[in-house]
Every structure is written in C-alpha cells, then in structure tokens.
A and B are shown apart, each in its own frame.
Chain A
Amino acid sequence: QKEVEQNSGPLSVPEGAIASLNCTYSDRGSQSFFWYRQYSGKSPELIMSIYSNGDKEDGRFTAQLNKASQYVSLLIRDSQPSDSATYLCAVILGNQFYFGTGTSLTVIP
C-alpha cells in the first residue's frame, strides 16, 4: 500500500462549482498534511497545511482532516479556470514528505 493515495482523475468541474479532491494515507502516526498545486511544467506550490482534525479555510480553499479515517480533502469553492492544475497531497512521515501522484483538475469555463 502506498503511503499516500489520490484519485488521479482527471476531474472536470464547471466554472463556479465546488471541486472536491480527496487523499488517503496509510500511517496513523502522520501528523502534518499539505496540499500543493502544480501547474503543467512548473514546480509545486504550497496552498494549504492542516495539522488537526476538522476544517481549515483560506479564501476559496478548505482543507478537511479526519485522522480516524486517515483522510484529507481539499474543497475549492467558486472554481475558476485558473484553478486547472494537478493537486498533490503530501504527508510527513518520519524524515520524509510523501506525495501522492496528484489529481488533475480541469475547470471548464
């Protein structure tokens, strides 16, 4: 089992809709969770971090963490075409950041 698993997509949503991205992780000892956005040909950009159960909101982004279910999600409200990218979930375990393979999101105008 991979440390971090994501549905690779692609996920398509219409402009203005809510995009929901999901991630599961294998180790209950993980304490720190992150979402990165990566545009094609660019480097990953940190958009959200979350460390405790519940929701964390930042603008149009909401990260949700459920440690009992080992589940992290990212909601993007009022999706814009500029949100079209690959979203990477990351978890710290030991000395490493483990990354999922990413979910490709396309927002259709």
Chain B
Amino acid sequence: NAGVMQNPRHLVRRRGQEARLRCSPMKGHSHVYWYRQLPEEGLKFMVYLQKENIIDESGMPKERFSAEFPKEGPSILRIQQVVRGDSAAYFCASSPGVEAFFGQGTRLTVV
C-alpha cells in the first residue's frame, strides 16, 4: 500500500505564474487535508476535502487559492498569480477517517 504521494517535490515559479500541486491519497482514504509550512514555523491548516466536496476551506486565502478533490484522480491545490510570500512547503495528508498520514510535501519557490 503506497503512501500519500505528492508531486512535484520541488516547484519553482516566477511571480505571476500558476502553481499546481498534486496529492494522491493512500488507497481507501477519502479525506484529504492541505497544510502550509513556513521555515521554522508550524503547520497551518488550509483546506479539508472529501471526494468531490470541500468540507472546510477556512484556512485558505480567499483569493488566488483553490482546491479540488475530484471523483477520479488526485487532489489539486492551485495557486494563481503566485507571489514571493507563497514560497513554502505544502503538505497534504490523507485519512480514512481519523488518523492522518502525510505526503512528502511540495516545496514551492517563487522567484
């Protein structure tokens, strides 16, 4: 049973470009969480999704950020018109219902 898969592991974008981060949950897991982590800081909740539904997006900025978890395929975190302040590690975690397991993260650098 493969773990939570995130890709790409590293992503460099110029200011104003779009970033797409992908997360494939563990088999049998229907819950996905996205977190952002800045260096030397804690994990900040962004969004919680179940298949085809956004359950809680209270931690996600209202502008430029969106997330989806379609019936088929990975969960996608999309950041439009990236700015330098978006540079961070983005982690997704999947859960069958309670315990959550993290992917290896995508490190986004905006230049």
Contact A43 B56, beta carbon cutoff 8 Å: no
Kindly supply a per-residue 1/0 record for chain B positions 22-60, scoring 1 wherever the CB is within 8 Å of any chain A CB and 0 otherwise: 000000000001010000011101001000000110110
B contact set with A: CB distance below 8 Å: 33, 35, 41-43, 45, 48, 55-56, 58-59, 91, 93, 98-105
Residue A59 lies at the interface, judged by CB distance under 8 Å to chain B: no
Residues 67-108 of A contacting B (Cβ, < 8 Å) = 88, 90, 92, 94-102
Contact A34 B99, beta carbon cutoff 8 Å: yes
Q: Which residues of A sit under 8 angstroms from B43, Cβ to Cβ?
A: 44, 88, 99
Kindly supply a per-residue 1/0 record for chain A positions 27-45, scoring 1 wherever the CB is within 8 Å of any chain B CB and 0 otherwise: 0000010101000001111
Q: How many A-B residue pairs have CB under 8 A?
A: 48
Contact B93 A95, beta carbon cutoff 8 Å: no
Q: Report the bound CA distance from A42 to B37 in whole Å.
A: 11
Residue A17 lies at the interface, judged by CB distance under 8 Å to chain B: no
Chief secondary structure at chain A's binding surface:
strand
Q: Which residues of A sit under 8 angstroms from B104, Cβ to Cβ?
A: 42-43
A contact set with B: CB distance below 8 Å: 32, 34, 36, 42-46, 49, 88, 90, 92, 94-102
Q: Which residues of B sit under 8 angstroms from A96, Cβ to Cβ?
A: 33, 45, 48, 56, 58-59
Contact B91 A43, beta carbon cutoff 8 Å: yes
Given A88-B43, A99-B42, check contact A43 B102 (CB 8 Å).
yes
The 10 closest A-B pairs by CB, nearest first: A101-B42, A95-B56, A43-B102, A99-B43, A44-B102, A43-B105, A95-B48, A43-B104, A96-B45, A95-B55
Best-buried of B41, B43, B98 by chain A (most CB within 10 Å): B43
